[in-house]
Amino acid sequence: MKKVILGLLPVLVLLTACGPGDSIEQATEQSVQQFEAAGIQNMENDALFAAEAASANMLHVQISQAALSSGVSPEVQSFAQRAEGAYKQMNSELQEVANQVNIVLPQTMGAAHQKVYDQVTGKEGISFDIEFIRAMLDQHKNLLKRYEDIAENGTSMEVKQYASRQLPLLRQHTNAAQRLQEKID
């Protein structure tokens, strides 16, 4: 029971952060409705995770692309290039899993991810680099926790396996972002 409650805690936190028109909330609700219509229970956390992951993947691809054109330091551009490719691949794999499990993914970033994108791309020069590094580190720390949670507490074996497969890459990116952050501190 404690695992279920702890597993649903991120669901409650995110749903309270999402507005009624948020793409993550809409995709999650569509998925849950489909599952309930098919008589499948307890997929809320998996559906929310998939929607969050898709939105986060879009964010990382888009801010990495922005960093490739607006980043000043070679380290930021190198990190952005690796991240862009990695998150495109993660999104492709997530789409395959979503198709297998019948989960709806958002087609646009959720409001919270859009806000991060706007904050990063609203900067120029070294301020852009600093904001990019800060955002990537914060995002990776949050993603790592969420992927670890779903890998352990997910309902669908396909979703759990997807999350587990991504953990080494997320750890690697978190460590790389941490090293970049340390350079600017």
* Cα-Cα end-to-end distance for the chain: 42
Percentage, residues of the chain above pLDDT 90: 86
From residue 33, alpha-carbon distances to 10, 11, 39, 122, 131 in Å are 20, 16, 10, 37, 38
Angstrom distance (rounded) from CA 173 to CA 165: 14
pTM for the whole thing?
0.87
Helix (H) or strand (E) holding 29: helix 23-37
Domains, the chain: 2-184 (1.20.1260.10)
Q: For the chain, which ranges sit under pLDDT 50?
A: 1-18
| Sequence-distant (≥ 6) Cβ neighbours of residue 85 within 8 angstroms | none
- Summarised one tens digit per residue, pLDDT across range 52-80 is 999 999 999 999 999 999 999 999 999 99
